[in-house]
């Protein structure tokens, strides 16, 4: 049973428009959420994170929103650029000494020029 779900395997967006990637989770113990970006033949790279004590975190063109009651988070990219085309993974972890990451299955974002 996947505890972190990304229900959209792919998303296409026009350059300059907003990209919205969604992620749902089932484990209410998750208190830290991250987004990773992955290009082909490379490892995932950290993009942005949010703690459960916040509902929004911004970093330049990237904003992550967290809705704890709905167990839902989203990543907004504004404006989208062709270089943003990649697979985006949502990940979550719980408090404690282990703090292992649980990943979603990823969403392939394609930004069309």
Partner 1 sequence: NAGVTQTPKFQVLKTGQSMTLQCAQDMNHEYMSWYRQDPGMGLRLIHYSVGAGITDQGEVPNGYNVSRSTTEDFPLRLLSAAPSQTSVYFCATRTGTRYTNYGYTFGSGTRLTVV
What Rg do the C-alpha atoms of the chain give, in angstroms? 13
Contact 13, 28 (CB under 8 A): no
88/39 Cα distance (integer angstroms): 9
Number of residues that bind partner 1 (CB under 8 A): 26
Give yes or no for residue 62 binding partner 1 (CB under 8 A). no
Contact region with partner 1 (CB under 8 A), list: 1-9, 14-22, 62-70, 71-79: 1-9
> Between 64 and 93, how does the x/- string for binding to partner 1 read (CB under 8 A)?
-------------------------x-x-x
80/56 Cα distance (integer angstroms): 19
31/51 Cα distance (integer angstroms): 6
Give yes or no for residue 49 binding partner 1 (CB under 8 A). yes
Binding residues vs partner 1 (CB under 8 A)? 2, 4, 6, 9, 32, 41-46, 49, 51, 89, 91, 93, 95-97, 99-101, 103-106
């Amino acid at each position: 049973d996947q505890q972190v779900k990304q229900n959209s395997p792919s998303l296409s967006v026009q350059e300059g428009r907003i990209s919205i990637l969604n992620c749902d989770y089932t484990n209410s113990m998750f208190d830290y959420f991250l987004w990773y970006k992955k290009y082909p033949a490379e490892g995932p790279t950290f993009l942005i994170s949010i703690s459960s004590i916040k509902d929004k975190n911004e970093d330049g063109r990237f904003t992550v929103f967290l809705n704890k009651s709905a167990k839902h988070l989203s990543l907004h990219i504004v404006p989208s650029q062709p270089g943003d085309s990649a697979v985006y993974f949502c990940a979550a972890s719980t408090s404690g000494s282990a703090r292992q990451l649980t990943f979603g299955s990823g969403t392939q974002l394609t930004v069309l020029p």
